[in-house]
Structure 1
Amino acid sequence: MAEKSCSSTGCTKESCAGCPSAKGAQKPQSMLAPANPKSHIHKVIGVVSGKGGVGKSLVTASLANLMKEQGYSVGILDADITGPSIPKMYGLHGPAEMDGDYIKPVVTENGIPVMSINLLLPDEESPVIWRGPILANMVKQFWTDIVWGEIDYLFVDMPPGTGDVPLTVFQSIPVDGIITVTSPQDLVSLIVKKALNMAKSMDIPVIGLVENYSYVICPDCGKEFKIFGESGLDKLAEELDLPILGRMPIDPKLAELASGEFAKANNEYLAAAESLLIALEG
């Protein structure tokens, strides 16, 4: 049987206002969490990948340092609740101090405010054994309850995968774009695509790709060795129509600084990412 039109049934605009079909046509309600009233953040940049161990924290901290050196005010939100790395890299320890009803981030030696679960735990070596919804809610509180102040770039060090926490970040925090970290192995590239497709499905812009572990430089002869094989980054970037923001080698100097003195690090391999971020702010 054919559906009857509103005119044939005698319906009016007013009488149809409460119709479920009319409600379904409404724009979905935003799930963005309110920013902390003492925070004014201009750009939120997520650093993501589909799996762990590819260097998201290294890229996050490196970008924060580079932008800080350019004179921008930056912060780092460590969203990897079960595997936080940022405080260890900068030699930071809690407990974080209170500012009235809110929490103040801990500041690095080079002036970067940081918030991580390790700065709130009484024992930073205690494991965080929480279920997904609790983890996700904690990340949301890092946005609503932390006094970030005036920030040009807030870098979010994302946990691996496409589960509860990344979903909460994308839904609750106004992310302006993501930088995706990969490595030369084919398996990693496949998993990276999952993270990119997640961002795309949620209308989060992808700024570009960074490859870690691209090569290692022999300390004696200076020759580059690709110990993980030939990179597929160019092919991946072309396939996804994304810019390449950097190729990072295995650099012992950066690894050494990441043991507590990363405030001194200057990751020259991410110069292209730095330039693009500056253009984004402009």
Structure 2
Amino acid sequence: MTSNTERTKLFHALHQPGPLTLPNAWDVASALIVEAAGATAVATTSAGVAWSLGAPDGDRLERDLAVELVARIAKAVKVPVTADIESGFGENAGEVAETVRAIVAAGASGVNIEDGHGSSVRDAQEQKERLAAAREAAPDLFINARIDVYLRGVGDPADRLQLALDRAKTYLEAGASGIFVPGVTDLATVRELANGIDAPLNVLAGPGAPAVGELASAGAARISVGTALPSAAYAVAQKVAVELLSKGTYGSAEEGLSYGELNALFNQ
């Protein structure tokens, strides 16, 4: 796959019937590792990207830095790339459209755009305008509209399913290609979401969550793991550093990839 148009068409197709399983990457090396492991697409994690570039997660990273990293990843891998662009790196719909145009020019085939804002979520109609602007800016892009009502504990727990379904309907009307509902992995709720949403459903999995096959059987078309990979990698880095500085030994580094293995990823 060399044409971005071809990669974008492929990325849409990977959601049907699914499941599209995405180990999220945060830099070029991790993207190459994910691709070499057999991933059919590479997804970025906004938190991992922000951390690697010296910023906290939560719309604190400069847009240009995020776009540049996406361009580097898209150039390095052969599979489609989908970029987590947080809430769009923009105060208004017009700025979200600018971000999306830049991300497409960088080589991305998809984006995540979240409705989380502060400790809660944006007004659904305001988010609809932001998503509509993104769609107008990129007619072919896979737009994964993220709904944060579960993740941020919005409202009465008994009302969250219907709130998520209502928002999903609104966001699909704005042109979203898929719906992402992080914070939910129990199979009954995943099944209700999948049955009530007329688009591919993305769930966020990780330690303690049902296996990919179980989530897929419940209706999830796309399964991603967010910060799982960078968190694990940084935990190993911390362990190696603490052992070296406290004991003067190196055992924690024994399972690391070799210099040759890593270097070879960049010579393909």
- TM above 0.5: no
The normalised TM-score by structure 2 is 0.42
Looking at secondary structure, tell me which structure has more helix per residue. 2
The normalised TM-score by structure 1 is 0.40
